[in-house]
Amino acid sequence: MGAVTTDLARIDVFDPDLYAAGDPETNALPFERYAWLRSEAPCVRLPCAIPGHEPSAWVVSRFDDVSAILRDPERFVSGHGVTMRATHTTVAGDGGKPAMITMDGAAHSRNRRLINRGFTPAVIRSFETHFRAIAATVIDRAVALGSFDFVQEIASQLPMHAICDLLGVPEADRPQLARWTNFAASPTDPDYAIDGEDILTVLGHVWDYGLELAELRRKDPGTDVMSTIVDAADNESLTADELMGFVFTLAAAGNETTRNSASHALLGLFNHPEQMRWLRDRADRIPDAAIEEMLRWSTPVIYLRRTAATGFELHGQQISPGDPIAVFAASANFDPSEFADPQAFVLDRTPNRHVTFAVGPHVCLGAHVARLELRVLFEELLRRTDDLRLTGPVVYARDSYLRGVKRLGVQV
């Protein structure tokens, strides 16, 4: 095990307060620390002082290394968890229910194959009309208020309804499911705490709820993602535990990521009025490049954790089997060796090989769903407003895994 560096003042990149206190003017990321790491210590063992988390991990910050590690699942496994938490909600050995995000090899391929057909480009294209209808309803309601919290009224609504529709969650249950996933995804933020409940209790609610949803779908099967999951469970290609793990992963992935991309991107537009004008001119059909830049700019998943399956050396550091490795997407996406003028928000940026959705076998299954949600949300928002202003406050989540925006006050 390598020595833990002592220069904490500069490089404690796991500190949740660092992200809570981010500066909205500079996209709220600790760019200086990341730049220092990329240049001086591209692979370094750093402490993580959060209770209930691994005490330290190898932090990898350069774009090339991050991409290479994510593409090498034989040497860098996901099965010991994909965050720095010491126990994992999707690892059976930790008291969780197994889900593909923390599976390796054949188990991962089997789970991913089972559900893939619910996420093909053709299936996702078929969601567009429905997503537009949801966006229109929530945006009209928000715009009628004049001043509102963009996160609460718009950014959290479309992703929540989209994933709940895919899972067949009845309307009345959606806010509760979103509260549970908020807490499970960002347990270090006190605003997401649920009175008197710890993470496993809350997870228990989500798992039980997954079984209820499966029952609902059995009675009323369709062609949606939940029907695919139930079908696989009934054909015994998926265990009951895997079904519960699936429901949690999808509910969390669907609720906790796209809303933050939309919020960071809107703030980027406020901070770059020329980009806002550029986008408004193209609101009839937002170019793909603009969506990719919003995704790079927002990088909602700050780091991805892997565990070394074998010993190896990187930048002169000897990594041992079993060591946790945190590859920082939020640093890689702003690495000048890959992105020209990386801290500029440039909506027609090409090429743009961001790692916001990861790369390799675990690349985000919902990436095209998220892209469609962002397109629909911004097209419908810009069509319905001709002058959108930031009034504040801008409040970030206290979490160093998910880069959340909790409040973003705006006025039309």
* Cβ count near 203 (within 10 Å): 24
Options 163, 203, 332, 372; binder of ligand HEM; rule CB under 6 A: 163
How far is 318 from 329, CA to CA, in rounded Å?
Answer: 22
- Asked whether the beta carbons of 242 and 234 are under 8 A apart, the reply is no
Runs of H (alpha helix) within 186-235: 199-219, 225-234
How far is 387 from 188, CA to CA, in rounded Å?
Answer: 36
Q: Is 157 in the site for ligand HEM (CB under 6 A)?
A: no
Burial class (CB in 10 A: 0-12, 13-18, 19+), 59: buried
- Asked whether the beta carbons of 234 and 214 are under 8 A apart, the reply is no
Q: Is 352 in the site for ligand HEM (CB under 6 A)?
A: no
Helix (H), strand (E), coil (C) string for 267-290: HHHHHCHHHHHHHHCCCCCCCHHH
Q: Choose the binding region for ligand HEM from 87-95, 201-209, 284-292, 300-308 (rule: CB under 6 A).
A: 300-308
Write out the binding residues for ligand HEM, residues 71-130 only, by CB under 6 A: 78, 82, 100-101, 112
Our CB check for ligand HEM shows the closer of 101 and 244 to be 101
Our CB check for ligand HEM shows the closer of 50 and 66 to be 66
Options 131, 334, 339, 357; binder of ligand HEM; rule CB under 6 A: 357
How far is 330 from 356, CA to CA, in rounded Å?
Answer: 8
C-alpha distance from residue 52 to each of 83, 166, 184, 199, 383 (Å): 11, 33, 14, 11, 46
Q: Choose the binding region for ligand HEM from 5-13, 203-211, 257-265, 275-283 (rule: CB under 6 A).
A: 257-265
- Asked whether the beta carbons of 5 and 41 are under 8 A apart, the reply is yes
Our CB check for ligand HEM shows the closer of 33 and 161 to be 161
Nearest to 83 by CA among 303, 389, 369, 364: 303
Our CB check for ligand HEM shows the closer of 5 and 265 to be 265
Our CB check for ligand HEM shows the closer of 5 and 400 to be 400
Q: Is 160 in the site for ligand HEM (CB under 6 A)?
A: no
Write out the binding residues for ligand HEM, residues 3-62 only, by CB under 6 A: none
Residues in the chain: 412
Q: Is 368 in the site for ligand HEM (CB under 6 A)?
A: no
- Asked whether the beta carbons of 372 and 120 are under 8 A apart, the reply is no
How far is 18 from 396, CA to CA, in rounded Å?
Answer: 10
Burial class (CB in 10 A: 0-12, 13-18, 19+), 193: middle
Options 156, 258, 352, 400; binder of ligand HEM; rule CB under 6 A: 258
Options 43, 164, 238, 250; binder of ligand HEM; rule CB under 6 A: 250
CB 59 to ligand HEM: min, Å: 15
Site residue total, ligand HEM (CB under 6 A): 25
Nearest to 218 by CA among 209, 230, 210: 230
How far is 333 from 356, CA to CA, in rounded Å?
Answer: 7
Our CB check for ligand HEM shows the closer of 5 and 225 to be 225
Q: Write phi, then psi, for 355 (nearest 5 degrees).
A: -110, 25
Q: Choose the binding region for ligand HEM from 14-22, 28-36, 331-339, 366-374 (rule: CB under 6 A).
A: 366-374
Our CB check for ligand HEM shows the closer of 253 and 388 to be 253
Q: Is 181 in the site for ligand HEM (CB under 6 A)?
A: no
Write out the binding residues for ligand HEM, residues 261-290 only, by CB under 6 A: 261
How far is 97 from 89, CA to CA, in rounded Å?
Answer: 6
Our CB check for ligand HEM shows the closer of 43 and 301 to be 301
CB 364 to ligand HEM: min, Å: 3
Q: Which residue is nearest to ligand HEM (CB)?
A: 366
CB 19 to ligand HEM: min, Å: 15
CB 210 to ligand HEM: min, Å: 14
CB 153 to ligand HEM: min, Å: 19
Our CB check for ligand HEM shows the closer of 5 and 299 to be 299
Nearest to 366 by CA among 265, 221, 253, 234: 253
Options 30, 81, 98, 254; binder of ligand HEM; rule CB under 6 A: 254
CA 346 to chain centre: 22
Our CB check for ligand HEM shows the closer of 163 and 346 to be 163
Residue type present at position 211: L
Residue ranges in contact with ligand HEM by CB under 6 A: 78, 82, 100-101, 112, 163, 249-250, 253-254, 257-258, 261, 300-301, 304, 356-358, 362, 364-366, 369-370
